[in-house]
Amino acid sequence: MKTDFSLIINGQAVAGERGTFAVLNPATEEAVAQCPFASPDQVDQAVKAAGAAFQSWQYSSRETRVAALNAIADRFEAHAAELAEIITLEQGKPLALAQFEVGGAIAWTRHAATLDIPVEVIEDSEVRRAELHRKPLGVVGSITPWNWPLLIAVWHLMPAIRTGNTVVVKPSSMTPFNTLRMVELMNECLPAGVVNVVTGEGGIGSSMVKHEGIRKIVFTGSTPTGQTIMRNAADNLKRLTLELGGNDAGIVLPDADLDALAPKIFQTAFFNMGQTCAALKRLYVHESQYDALVEKLADIARAQKVGPGMDEGVTFGPVQNRDQFELVSALVEDARSKGARIVTGGERVGDKGYFYAPTIVADITDGTRLVDEEQFGPVLPVIRYSDVDDALRRANDNPNGLGGSVWSSDIDKARAVASRLECGTAWINNHAEVLPHCPFGGSKMSGLGVEFGQDGLLEYTQSQLLNISKG
Ligand code: NAD
């Protein structure tokens, strides 16, 4: 893996004016490489470069933007192995999952190239013609988290530039290298200043949110940070798309086929070691099947091969960072102390790296931290219920509303329950699946706005009504 990373401002690779900081490999707790640390002045330079590039990029043709996005996807394909290796080394996930992430980044980029926003003719009468047009906003600030770092940056950047905006992106300081490399590759296909990247902490994200030259912030991360961003964005009324935390419930109906569904339930709860915003995070199971499903899930958990993501045959990597590892451990210990049964896992694996065994917790209920709070890690609480309406009430009795699911052999019955879930996406016999053509976003405290599809594209635009008088 290359180790000399730079900020990219106005198409130029530049060193951070505040020096560098180390990024740790979560499998070894050793430095992967040094990351440039940008100064507030460099954030300002990046915003000014993006502002200058916007003056012409906003008028670029559809063909120019589509060609640029497809050229970017080609660059990602040519560097897929390199990008996947960077992701595994800094994020921790098994290499096959990192390759899946890069594949998703390519697919989403190509899909963004296919999207269009037609002009809407609202009235065409003898007295007037009224047309609704969509214009780009200006400079978009993108702030991303550490769980799916490349994919989420692609989700932010591609619709922004497709619609004629320019961008300053700030990745999480836990996983900055994939984004630095991605922006370097993008700059081989775009005019200088269209996409800029700054890295570091110490208020870089909040200085972007407060910057008058940025017209919109697209943010994916925790709910408390999203709330701070919303407060700070008020001064110049920035547009916001906020994809925030979740605590998704899944409800298994009494008729569910456990043999068929248990592997899928495990996969969607432990996707990316459970560090997925819309992973299944609380599982409600009818008492008639409770013990059987708990055992099936525990068997699948025990069969995982936990280890460094670069090692052959590993299916389960480390938690990404020490704070998250400690939160996961604390939630499990709290559950244990309240009498919950740790069916499997519940402990660190090895003495180096942030490895935590995939953990199934049973005989636990609402009112326990592990059920009420987002664990964002490799632990699933399984909760017994006897009445479906009661399970539904408990599933909805949470401030989050990102996703939810119902598992059953009877799709009509499942649909009736799913439609009453308070969340942005309701799955039946699945969970955590997101698609480039289907809008995705949170309700309640899980966010504001949507990404993907044409609805997602519209979030990067400002409408302008053109009113042509014929009188
Ligand atoms: P986080 O909120 O700690 O950090 C996210 C980003 O915000 C980082 O780049 C961070 O440097 C930056 N940041 C921190 N303080 C800031 C401030 N005051 N102003 C501006 N930027 C600031 O989140 P995280 O721990 O990196 O990610 C995990 C969380 O993200 C989980 O809650 C998860 O559910 C959520 N998430 C949501 C989605 C979704 O689509 N809804 C997707 C992935 C992750």
pTM above 0.85, yes or no: yes
Angstrom distances, CA of residue 138 to CA of 141, 192, 193, 393, 461: 10, 15, 12, 43, 9
Q: Which of 90, 101, 184, 243 is catalytic?
A: 243
Q: Which residue out of 222, 241, 443 has the highest number of ligand 1 atoms within 8 Å of its CB and is therefore the one to mutate?
A: 222
Residue 326 designated active-site: no
Segments making up each domain of the chain, as ranges = 7-244+446-468, 248-435
Q: In which residue ranges of the chain is pLDDT below 50?
A: none
CB 414 within 8 A of CB 408: yes
Q: Which residue out of 147, 207, 242 has the highest number of ligand 1 atoms within 8 Å of its CB and is therefore the one to mutate?
A: 147
Distance CA 115, CA 327 (A): 40
Angstrom distances, CA of residue 342 to CA of 249, 329, 338, 411: 19, 12, 11, 32
Kindly give the distance from the C-alpha atom of residue 145 to the centroid of ligand 1, in angstroms, as a whole number: 5
What was the pLDDT predicted at 201? 83
- Taking CA atoms only, the protein residue closest to ligand 1 atom 20 is 205
CATH code: domain 7-244+446-468 is 3.40.605.10
Kindly give the distance from the C-alpha atom of residue 46 to the centroid of ligand 1, in angstroms, as a whole number: 21
What was the pLDDT predicted at 198? 98
Distance CA 296, CA 14 (A): 52
**For 69-212, where are the E strands, in sequence order?**
120-124, 128-136, 139-143, 166-170, 195-197
Kindly give the distance from the C-alpha atom of residue 278 to the centroid of ligand 1, in angstroms, as a whole number: 14
What was the pLDDT predicted at 2? 86
Q: What contacts 337, CB < 8 A, 6 or more positions away?
A: none
Question: What is the CB < 6 Å shell around ligand 1?
Answer: 143-147, 170, 172-173, 201, 205-206, 209, 220-222, 225, 228-229, 243-246, 277, 374, 376, 402, 442, 447
Q: Which residue out of 90, 277, 443 has the highest number of ligand 1 atoms within 8 Å of its CB and is therefore the one to mutate?
A: 277
- Taking CA atoms only, the protein residue closest to ligand 1 atom 30 is 221
Kindly give the distance from the C-alpha atom of residue 242 to the centroid of ligand 1, in angstroms, as a whole number: 10
CB 382 within 8 A of CB 290: yes
Q: What does DSSP say about strands 280-286 and 379-385: parallel, antiparallel, or unpaired?
A: parallel
Kindly give the distance from the C-alpha atom of residue 122 to the centroid of ligand 1, in angstroms, as a whole number: 39
CATH T-level topology, domain 248-435:
Aldehyde Dehydrogenase; Chain A, domain 2 (3.40.309)
Distance CA 301, CA 358 (A): 6
- Taking CA atoms only, the protein residue closest to ligand 1 atom 19 is 206
Kindly give the distance from the C-alpha atom of residue 232 to the centroid of ligand 1, in angstroms, as a whole number: 15
Q: What does DSSP say about strands 239-243 and 20-25: parallel, antiparallel, or unpaired?
A: unpaired
User: What proportions of the chain, in percent to the nearest 5, are helix, strand and coil?
Assistant: 40, 25, 40
Tokens 């636990």 sit on residue: 364
Other Cβ atoms within 10 Å of 121 Cβ, number: 11
Distance CA 320, CA 82 (A): 20
